[in-house]
């Protein structure tokens, strides 16, 4: 390897390294000439510091939001409004998702269990799959797409239209009126939606397994009763509560710190949905590894 001088057409302050068959070009704008790796190290360092600042700001945001829930949770009418928006208005999409999830589980489980002559265990397979994993995760993902995006867009529009600034000017706490009711609403609504998801999914599996495939209905519910324990139900409820906190936290945060303009709101909404969905799946893995 050898270092060459600047060629014609190259930008000033750039280092060109030539190998036998490879040419590497490192722009050195605003950095010391002669040290191409320094620019890479500074870029990685700036990226790391930016990530740490963002994580710290997110942590302070949720800590202050939880503090305001304890200190001043807001009027009950605001909490009920968020319960209606996050919970009641998500019922239809939860119903459809749960019904077809249970039906698909029963259909796939039946053809798998018939290979071992264990069709009577179909109820256990459907119930445990829904209660432990699919119920909390899928209900949280559906709420993220339906309600979480709307929460981010609503708070983001309030930010760019300076409504949040107006609250602060009038000495009114934005967290009391905007964040606390939404976080409380999500914490209450998600476990209820998860329970509805589980019940509807189990009866969807009953519809396919018993009515369509001919599984004995007594065996379907009897094996379910023997297999499902309180630990399974408790883990599903705990997961749904934590998912509710994740959804409300990320969506409120992204809306509160959105950038100016309609493009900023759209970017914040997209980032909130993507980040919430990924965090739900990642946190589900770690929580499952602890609860098993």
Could you give the CA distance from residue 160 to residue 178 in angstroms, rounded to a whole number?
15
Phi, psi of 214 (to 5 degrees): 85, 20
4, containing H or E segment: strand 2-4
DSSP-derived letter for residue 179 is I
Residue 169: how many CA atoms within 13 Å on its side-chain side?
5
Could you give the CA distance from residue 198 to residue 217 in angstroms, rounded to a whole number?
18
Contact criterion met (CB below 8 Å) for 136 and 240: yes
Domain range summary for the chain, segments of one domain joined by +: 14-54, 72-291
Nearest to 202 by CA among 174, 181, 188, 223: 223
Could you give the CA distance from residue 92 to residue 114 in angstroms, rounded to a whole number?
33
Could you give the CA distance from residue 2 to residue 20 in angstroms, rounded to a whole number?
10
Per-residue pLDDT of the chain (292 residues; tens, 9 = 90+): 444 444 444 444 454 444 445 444 445 455 455 566 778 888 888 888 888 988 889 999 999 988 888 887 778 888 899 999 999 999 999 999 999 999 999 999 888 888 887 788 888 889 999 999 999 999 999 999 999 999 999 999 998 888 888 888 887 888 888 888 999 999 999 999 999 999 999 999 999 988 888 888 888 888 888 888 888 899 999 999 999 999 999 999 999 998 878 888 999 999 999 999 999 999 999 999 888 7
Angle, helices 230-256 vs 261-291, to 10°: value is 160
Q: What is the pTM of this model?
A: 0.81
């Amino acid at each position: 390897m050898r270092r060459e001088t600047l060629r014609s057409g190259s930008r000033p302050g750039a280092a060109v390294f030539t190998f036998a068959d490879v040419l590497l070009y490192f722009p050195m704008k605003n950095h010391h000439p002669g040290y191409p790796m320094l620019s890479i190290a500074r870029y990685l360092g700036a990226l790391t510091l930016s990530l740490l600042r963002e994580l710290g700001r997110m942590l302070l945001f949720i800590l202050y939001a939880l503090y305001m829930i304890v200190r001043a949770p807001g009027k009950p009418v605001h909490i009920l409004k968020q319960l209606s928006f996050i919970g009641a208005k998500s019922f239809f999409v939860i119903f459809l998702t749960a019904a077809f999830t249970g039906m698909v589980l029963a259909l796939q489980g039946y053809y798998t269990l018939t290979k071992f002559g264990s069709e009577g265990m179909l109820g256990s397979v459907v119930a445990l799959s829904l209660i432990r994993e699919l119920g909390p995760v899928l209900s949280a993902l559906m709420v993220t797409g339906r309600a979480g995006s709307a929460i981010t867009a609503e708070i983001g529009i309030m930010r760019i239209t300076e409504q949040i600034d107006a609250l602060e000017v009038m000495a009114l706490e934005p967290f009391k009126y905007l964040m606390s009711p939404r976080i409380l609403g999500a914490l209450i609504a998600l476990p209820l939606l998860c329970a509805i998801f589980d019940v509807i999914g189990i009866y969807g599996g009953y519809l396919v397994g018993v009515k369509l495939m001919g599984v004995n209905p007594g065996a379907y519910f009897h094996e379910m009763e023997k297999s499902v324990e309180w630990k399974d139900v408790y883990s599903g409820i705990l997961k749904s509560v934590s998912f509710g906190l994740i959804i409300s936290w990320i969506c409120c945060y992204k809306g509160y710190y959105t950038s100016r303009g309609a493009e900023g709101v759209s970017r914040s909404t997209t980032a909130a949905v993507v980040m919430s969905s990924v965090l739900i799946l990642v946190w589900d893995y770690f929580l499952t590894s602890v609860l098993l």
